Amino acid sequence: MYRPYSRSSSTSSISSIENLPPRTLARVSKEVRDLMRSPPEGINLVVDNETGLPASLGEIVAEIEGPQGTPYEKRFFRLKLVLGAEFPTAPPRGFFLTKIYHPNVDMSTGAICVNTLKRDWSPETTFSYILSVIRCLLINPFPESSLNDEAGKLFMGSYDEYSKRASLMADVHGRPHSSNAMPEGDDESDGRTDSPTKRKSRMEPGMNPLASKNSNSISSSNGGGKLGSKQASGRRMSKKKSLKRL
């Protein structure tokens, strides 16, 4: 059975976002808006379906699509950036929430080792850039600074064996689809129980972007075109209001 990383062990020493000064909170809010409007390739910000906003500005949760040509392709992985009281003078800390086999990811905590969050950190570094760098890390690991020694040695000694093991773990723990196409109520830690039948039964009308055009066509053919248009307009207005709140 799948067990997610221990979240308490990775965040117990992190200060609350409430300790950040107003100027820093304003910056975080702006960067969140930018991520929602123009996310980097292969990256989506995870937000609450009810509010359309992140659950907390102190922990930026995102989803990364495995890059093509890597053991992680066709799978989706969640991670978070945890902000400390000294942000942005000090970098946030990055943790994968989805188990992943990678030289630069700690197998027990999900902690991510990348220079952007260490010696190369600059207070001007954006969340968008950090997430893009972490996605690139899935393409080009740095075994010289590995947190998973086994994966690092396997990567250097036999890439084929490393790729097989990483791909196996990705198939077991990674999502086969983006969480944007399913209700927030589904737990990211249990990919096996998330069957297509279960998703269909829990999906509310209009929540699946892949089915939105078909849903509008069906609504129009049944005489419900005006109602469908009003609902779509309401959703657009709700999203705009959510962005303004940040």
Q: Can you give the three-state secondary structure of 224-236, one letter per residue?
A: CHHHHHHHHHHHH
Could you say which DSSP state residue 57 is in?
A: S
Report which of 88, 69, 102 is spatially closest to residue 173, judged by C-alpha positions.
102
Q: Are the C-beta atoms of residues 109 and 95 closer than 8 Å to each other? A: yes
Residues belonging to the active site: 113
d(CA 81, CA 112): 10
- What is the edge-to-edge ordering of all strands in the sheet holding 43-45? 43-45, 59-65, 76-82, 93-96
Q: Are the C-beta atoms of residues 148 and 102 closer than 8 Å to each other? A: yes
